[in-house]
Chains A and B, each alone.
Chain A
């Protein structure tokens, strides 16, 4: 049965037709709707990043908020992009794995470089999410203890068990760099 809502409500739902947000320093204005390049009300941020904007560095694994593969930074906090509706991201500042490092020169963010130097991955599928969680930590706490790193990464799934090498990579990056490289 179709619910009857009053005219004002119907209007309201139409009101927020454009979602303006910043992703990796670029301003985006996304249209809400059901067309090919529009954002549906039910689209998650992970979906929009990957399917609408082509930013496939953000991986989706569990799609249930439990594995951290889709981690991005929102207002500098690490969040699961699979559990966030894009239509609720108006005005947000988002950083994805593509936003680290300098694609023009090919220079990696020191944290990314540290992951390479420590072979802190095996299959690599969880790595972008892992790096984003670690990045959020280092931004807030440039010199974390090992325990603090474990806590910050406790929502990131790695099945190959590269955890030990990840810890070393994050520790090394924090010692070298202090994490304030933004």
Chain B
């Protein structure tokens, strides 16, 4: 790995200030499992000047519940999120999503905030320098998206515009299904934004001098049925080919409220509003679930090699609505 200046930040303010001073040429390091992979691959047009360690900021890894809000610090480890009794009880979708990431080794160092901010999982974007890379692409500011004419088996089937890399953050999908808010700290103080709004087609809304501080999950969501399904070739290690997180309010078998979020199908977590609308007010049945799944993927525009993802996504939406988890590693 090429070297860089390394700085331990001790407060959120200090971290943001440092980011500001480096004007985009510094990277925050939380768990490091994605950042170090990017640095080793040496794939960014500009190699960072500095790495700012945020693990030295105390208190950012706490999981607390008060005033009807569950608050999770950005540096909470995925292994802690996965086994926190509060999270398991109140928002199982998040615990399951956390448990589905990587491997126990990864979860022991990777953080919830880091998972949300992971670089896109695109094998063109990540193609390493050592093998003749990096490859210029739309996401890096030069040229077209290479997936369009290339091997796009894992790329976007929905909402691809220019760049077809997908967001594979399992945490993002689960938090979006929980309607979580993100507290973002910056030089001018803090702001709050919903997880769905946090993402943008080519990244996220974080400014160069901002960082995620914590996540807040409203209590209203905690009483809903929660489901997380992730389709991969293998249970550990793999990133999602398709994932679905759903919060479904039920009253005597009738759906009263729903949030259905798909992961790894679009550049951002994809909220399947059409599917939600289809099921709200309906008793959950095979037919309703199947119709909702069709609606969810109605606008899918698969690329040359990924039409199969549409079928898998429909299956997952259907199974999430029906509560069936057969064979999906849950």
Q: Which residues of A contact B (CB under 8 A)?
A: 3-6, 9, 12-13, 15-16, 32, 34, 40-44, 63-66, 68, 71, 74, 77-80, 82-85, 87-88, 133, 151-152, 154-156
Contact = CB atoms under 8 A, between A and B. Distances in A.
Contacts of A88: 8, 29, 32, 53, 55
Contacts of B7: 9, 12-13
Contacts of A16: 6, 8
Given A42-B4, A88-B53, A64 B40 contact: yes
B109 A41 contact: no
A84 B49 contact: no
B3 A65 contact: no
A83 B33 contact: yes
B21 A5 contact: yes
A155 B3 contact: no
Contacts of B22: 3, 5
A155 B4 contact: no
A135 to B, nearest CB: 13
Nearest to A155: B103
Contacts of B2: 42
Contacts of A41: 3-6, 51
Interface residues of B, number: 37
B1 A44 contact: yes
A133 B7 CA distance: 30
B69 interface: no
A150 to B, nearest CB: 10
Contacts of B301: none
27 contacts: A3-B25, A5-B21, A5-B50, A6-B21, A15-B8, A41-B5, A41-B6, A42-B6, A42-B39, A43-B1, A44-B1, A66-B237, A78-B108, A79-B105, A80-B106, A83-B31, A83-B36, A84-B32, A85-B36, A85-B51, A85-B53, A133-B104, A154-B104, A155-B103, A155-B106, A155-B237, A156-B105
A74 B109 CA distance: 10
Given A65-B106, A88-B29, A9 B21 contact: yes
Interface in B222-264: 235-237
Interface in B32-52: 32-33, 36-37, 39-40, 49-51
A88 B18 CA distance: 17
A68 B103 contact: yes
Nearest to A12: B7
A157 B105 CA distance: 12
B23 interface: yes
Contacts of A15: 8
A16 B55 CA distance: 14
Contacts of A32: 6
B3 A133 contact: no
Contacts of A13: 5-7, 50
Nearest to B234: A154
A42 B106 contact: no
Given A16-B8, A65-B37, A66-B237, A42 B105 contact: no
Contact of B32 (A5, A43, A77, A83): A83
